[in-house]
């Protein structure tokens, strides 16, 4: 079975419901996954917007998730499992889609990495670059899911 990520709130490539954006409750959607390699020792999640005007915008950074975890509930809060990085809104945890009004639809990429290492050795609150550096040589598999959102 291939490593697969699903988000019940919207279809892969579909529209992200307003509930999960800055225009509403701004809570994370629930995530579910399966098929990670049996040698997985931890998981890392990176959610970003590659269409942001100033370059890729990071919405959610989560790492050192134990491999026994198979889902995250809607509205997941930092500190429950693993460690949370600082997103580009300057805070820990999830920051939902919030593209500039009239900028057109943006894509939001959810990438989940199965890693061969139990901990990245990073403190909570780091930005994306140290996470990417730490996982680079430890990725066993990657699962991706994409949503779209536009503010008018």
Neighbour-count burial of 94, counting CB atoms closer than 10 A to its CB (0-12 exposed, 13-18 middle, 19+ buried): buried
Q: Are strands 4-6 and 42-49 parallel, antiparallel or unpaired?
A: unpaired
Entry pTM: 0.97
Structural domains of the chain sorted by starting position, each given as residue range(s) with its CATH number in brackets: 4-149 (3.90.280.10)
| CA–CA dist 140, 134 (Å, integer) | 13
Nearest alpha-carbon partner for 52 in 108, 129, 126:
108
107-120 confidence digits (pLDDT tens): 999 999 999 999 99
Q: Are strands 42-49 and 106-115 parallel, antiparallel or unpaired?
A: antiparallel
Q: What is the pLDDT of residue 80?
A: 84
Q: What is the pLDDT of residue 113?
A: 98
Residue with tokens 């040589």: 137
7-22 confidence digits (pLDDT tens): 999 999 999 999 999 9
Q: What is the pLDDT of residue 1?
A: 72
Phi, psi of 143 (to 5 degrees): -120, 140
18-73 confidence digits (pLDDT tens): 999 999 999 999 999 999 999 999 999 999 999 999 999 999 999 999 999 999 99
Contact present, 36 and 43 (Cβ < 8 Å): yes
Q: How does residue 147 score in pLDDT terms, banded at 50, 70 and 90?
A: very high
The SS3 call for residue 31 is strand
User: Among 69-73, 76-80, 81-85, where is mean pLDDT lowest?
Assistant: 76-80
Q: Terminus-to-terminus CA distance in the chain, angstroms? A: 40
| pLDDT > 90: percent of the chain | 97
């Amino acid at each position: 079975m291939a490593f697969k990520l699903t988000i019940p709130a919207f279809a892969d490539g579909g529209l992200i419901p307003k509930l999960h954006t800055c225009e509403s409750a701004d809570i994370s959607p629930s995530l579910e996954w399966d098929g990670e390699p049996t040698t997985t020792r931890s998981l890392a999640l990176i959610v970003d917007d590659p269409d942001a005007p100033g370059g890729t915008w990071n919405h959610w950074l989560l790492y050192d998730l134990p491999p026994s975890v198979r889902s995250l509930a809607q509205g997941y809060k930092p500190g429950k499992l693993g460690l949370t990085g600082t997103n580009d809104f300057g805070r820990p945890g999830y920051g939902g889609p919030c593209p500039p009004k009239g900028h057109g639809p943006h894509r939001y990429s959810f990438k989940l990495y199965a890693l061969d290492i139990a901990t990245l050795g990073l403190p909570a609150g780091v930005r994306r670059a140290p996470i990417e550096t730490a996982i680079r040589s430890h990725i066993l598999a990657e699962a991706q899911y994409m949503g779209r959102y536009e503010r008018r």
